[in-house]
Amino acid sequence: MALHEIKHPLVRHKLGLMRGAALSTKSFRELAQEIATLLMYEASKDFVLEPYTERGWAGDVTVERVAGKKVTVVPILRAGIGMLDGVLQLIPGARVSTVGLARNEDTLQAHTYFERLAGELDQRIAIILDPMLATGGSMVAAIDLLKKSGARDIRALVLVAAPEGIKRVTDAHPDVEIYTAAVDRGLNEDGYIMPGLGDAGDRVFGTK
């Protein structure tokens, strides 16, 4: 299943608060990070564990840890930064791979203006962060870039998704799992998700 709409009561409650136009920048920011933590919890449910021996208070004890090279978190600039701390709260040792994408207004294609990726991507689970999955153009471009750089296990965390973006991503990359707090009605003529959150980057950074 490529799409996971997380219907946990806390996720729905927090996202409802974020929809309020009067919400302060501080609260919007905090809620974005909190929902990111909850989405990450869901997106890590199938992480593989391996047993190892720990010296406990009463002798050796067999415990478990997450196996393998672990995780790289991939915030898409700029709004994805608004979810980064929430994910690092759960996976503090994760490497951060940063991607900046902008739309070429002539070709309407997303192009990469910044990229700094973690090494050994073929051995890591890549978690892309972008609050709004709107047309899906940036998400598909980020996934293309990660796959070209070796990533094989890619998951995306988004706060709100439009059906148009979900279709575009799942058509291009059916292997990528998308975790979202909500699937909204669709895009308006300006490319905003309705009812959505407005411009998530502006709301996280307090710009206009």
Contacts (CB under 6 A) with ligand URA, residues 133-152:
134
Query: Please, are residues 81 and 114 in contact by the beta-carbon 8 Å criterion?
Result: no
Q: Is 202 part of the annotated catalytic residue set?
A: yes
Compute the distance between CA of residue 87 and CA of residue 84 in angstroms, rounded to an integer.
Answer: 5
Q: Which is nearer to ligand URA, 85 or 199 (CB)?
A: 199
For residue 99, the cross-strand partners are 76, 115
82 labelled ligand-binding: no
Contact string 57-86 vs ligand URA (x = CB under 6 A): ----------------------x-------
Question: Which CB atom, from 42 or from 199, has the smaller least distance to ligand URA?
Answer: 199
Nearest residue to 128 via CA among 177, 172, 198, 164: 177
**At closest approach, how far in Å is the CB of 199 from ligand URA?**
4
**In this complex, which beta carbon is closest to ligand URA, that of residue 88 or of residue 161?**
161
97 is in an annotated binding site: no
DSSP 8-state assignment for residue 118: P
Question: Given the rule CB under 6 A, which of 5-13, 60-68, 80-88, 187-195 is the region that contacts ligand URA?
Answer: 187-195
Based on the residue annotation, tell me whether 103 is a catalytic residue of this protein: yes
Residue type, 199: D
Task: Give the contact letters, 23-62, x = binds to ligand URA (CB under 6 A), - = no.
Answer: ----------------------------------------
Per the CB < 8 A criterion, the answer to whether 65 and 54 are in contact is no
Q: Quick one: 121 or 200, whose CB is closer to ligand URA?
A: 200
The DSSP secondary structure of 131-144, one letter per residue, reads SEESSSHHHHHHHH
Q: Please report the DSSP string for 152-194 in residue order.
A: -EEEEEEEEE-HHHHHHHHHH-TT-EEEEEEE-SEE-TTS-EE
Query: Rounded distance, CA 96 to CA 75, Å?
Result: 8
Active-site residue set: 103, 107, 199, 202
**From the annotation, which residues make up the binding site for 5-phospho-alpha-D-ribose 1-diphosphate?**
78, 103, 130-138, 199
Instruction: Enumerate binding residues for ligand URA (CB under 6 A).
Output: 79, 132, 134, 191-193, 196, 199-201
